[in-house]
Amino acid sequence: MFDFQTDTGLDKPELYEALTQAAQALVYGESDPVANMANLSAVIWQFLPDLNWAGFYRTIGDELVLGPFMGKPACIRIPFGQGVCGTAAASARTQVVPDVHAFPGHIACDAETRSEVVVPVVVDGKVIAVIDLDSPTPSRFDEADAAGLEKLALIAAKAICATP
Ligand code: SME
């Protein structure tokens, strides 16, 4: 059983440090990519406040395909270069979007979403997946979130590509 305690008094760097440690513990010794993406989505959801969606899209061919997540059902396939996720995947760069309505081509999966951050998961120079977080609050995500999630993406990269 994993019973992580979350402390609401932490600042963002401390929160992401705690999240990173919990994520490391969750994937330790496990090579199944679906199990690891599922648990990473769950621990993000548990640690980070004010989210309405958190999860993975995986690169399959020239598009992103929905992976394990927490939140409402979401769009399944996103071509590289489209929406926030497709832009992060095509550019291999984190996208911090304070106002999704101002992002050209944003793909609305949930009308409540107001801000979003998407972080690429890179292995051997290739974007193998993205981590997508949505919030109903405008400007929910900033550079501290991007930095914390980029560290988490390094753990995800190993956890998705782990060999037994
Ligand atoms: N809004 C995303 C699509 C994925 S959902 O938010 C879960 C985008 O524009 O890429």
Which CATH number fits the domain that encloses residue 69? 3.30.450.40
Residue 135 lies in a domain: yes
- pLDDT number for residue 1: 63
Tens digits of per-residue pLDDT, 54-97?
999 999 999 999 999 999 999 999 999 999 999 999 999 999 99
User: Is 58 among the domain residues?
Assistant: yes
- Res 159: pLDDT: 96
The sheet with strand 77-79 has its strands ordered as: 77-79, 63-71, 53-60, 126-135, 115-123, 95-97
Residue nearest to atom 6 of ligand 1 (CA): 109
Give domain status of residue 6, yes or no.
no
Q: Give domain status of residue 1, yes or no.
A: no
Count of the separate structural domains present in the chain: 1
Domain that holds residue 140: 12-160
In a domain, 155, yes or no: yes
CA 87 to ligand 1 center in whole angstroms? 10
Give residue 20's pLDDT.
Answer: 96
**Residue 4 located in a structural domain:** no
Q: Which atom of ligand 1 is closest in space to residue 109's alpha carbon? A: 5
The rounded Å distance from CA 164 to ligand 1 centre is: 32
Entry pTM:
0.95
Does residue 142 form part of some domain?
A: yes
DSSP state of 102: G
- State residue 163's pLDDT score: 59
Q: What is the pLDDT, as a whole number, of residue 109? A: 87
Ligand 1 is surrounded, with C-beta below 6 A, by 53, 74-75, 78, 83-86, 106-107, 109, 113, 116, 132, 134
Residue 73 maps to a domain: yes
Residues 3-46 have pLDDT tens digits of 777 777 889 999 999 999 999 999 999 999 999 999 999 999 99
